[in-house]
Amino acid sequence: MASPMAGQLQDKVALITGAGRGIGAGIANVLVERGAAVAVCDLDGAAAQETADAINAAGGKAIGGAVDVTDPESLDHFAGRTISELGGIDICVPNAGVIGGRGFAERKDFTKQDWDMTFAVNVQGLTNTTDAVKEHMKDREQGKIVIIASHGGRKPRGIGDKGRGNAQHPYLVSKAAAIQYTHLLAMELGGYNINVNAVCPGRLWTPMWQAIAQNHKDLNPDFAEMTPYEIFIDQIKAIMPLGREQTPEDIGKTVAFLASDDSSEITGQAINVNGGAAFD
């Protein structure tokens, strides 16, 4: 039996960055299930093409390619290709992100490289992505932009975070910037019938969180006998009333709603998908 949401995004086209794996690939799969065609890109072009190939093999419609979100020309080229091959861009999902600079998982405190990398990708890469599509959307007087931020950008964490130290500061600040940018862009584009919202994921077992958990294990004796995944689940149960991790598909379902006509009166919002997490 077909899903009752199967036609929610029928005939829409979505461009998704960072879609070679993890959250981005999960979002792409959900949007395709809801009827959209997708243009998936990633710094790892081979991974993006694998996502596209899997979608096409399953009967969906997708194109894939290599894109560096820190390079506006790279994004402009892929956006142009999307419009040419798929007929337009109705939905943009800036999802590409990093947790820190090279070697992040091995250190307790942030470095200048962490600030430089997180802001280049998570902030400037975000604005580059929306710049690549917004004039097209303005010309058509319609569009949905759904930014992937993080619940970590909503509220300061306790000092140390169980031995984590300060290493996440650049990432958390970059995601706070993404949420503020969501508000500002919604104000800028509202008059063109373009909705701009953010989804703030909680904790998903992705390579990013595996690196964080490994860091906990290496730096905090309390976690020495636990596997990274056990640490991940332990922290989820400590802060999330629902007591379970989120999945890329959970994020994709919220993105699909915000990308649909069902959310036509929602803009400038940042929605947590985090099991009700609360921080001290």
pLDDT at position 235 is 86
* pLDDT the model gives residue 117: 93
- With respect to residue 7, please indicate whether it lies within any of the assigned structural domains: no
Q: What is the pLDDT of residues 257-266, one digit of tens each?
A: 999 999 999 9
pLDDT for residue 51: 98
Please check whether residue 263 lies inside any domain of the structure: yes
Whether 165 has a pLDDT exceeding 60, the answer reads no
State which residues form the domain around 194. Answer: 13-204+247-273
CATH assignment of the domain containing 131: 3.40.50.720
Rounded distance between C-alpha atoms, residue 29 and residue 20, angstroms: 11
- The single residue of 171, 181, 192, 229 carrying the catalytic annotation is 171
Looking at the domain assignment, is residue 251 inside a domain?
yes
Q: At what angle do helices 207-219 and 228-239 cross, to 10 degrees?
A: 100
End-to-end Cα distance, the chain: 44
Residue 215 has pLDDT above 90, yes or no: no
pLDDT one-digit tens code per residue, 81-132: 999 999 999 999 999 999 877 876 666 678 889 899 999 999 999 999 999 9
Angle at 12 between CA 11 and CA 18, to 5 degrees: 135
Burial 45-76 (b: 16+ CB within 10 A, else e): eebbbbbbebbeeeebbbbbbbbbbbebebbe
Structural domain tally of the chain?
A: 1
Average pLDDT for 63-79: 98
Q: What pLDDT shows up at residue 251?
A: 97
- Catalytic (active site) residue 181: no
Asked, for residue 123, whether it belongs to a domain, the answer is yes
Say if 197 falls within a structural domain: yes
- Domain annotation covers residue 210: no
- Taking only the tens place, the pLDDT of each residue in 185-201 is 999 999 999 999 999 99
pLDDT at residue 166, as a whole number: 66
Q: How confident is the model at residue 161 (pLDDT cuts 50, 70, 90)?
A: very low
Return the percentage of the chain with pLDDT > 70, whole number: 91
When comparing pLDDT for 155 and 128, which is higher?
Answer: 128
Of 249, 113, 265, which is closest to residue 190 (Cα–Cα)?
Answer: 265
Element (H or E) spanning 47, and its range?
A: helix 45-57
Residue 105, domain member (yes or no): yes
Q: What pLDDT shows up at residue 159?
A: 42
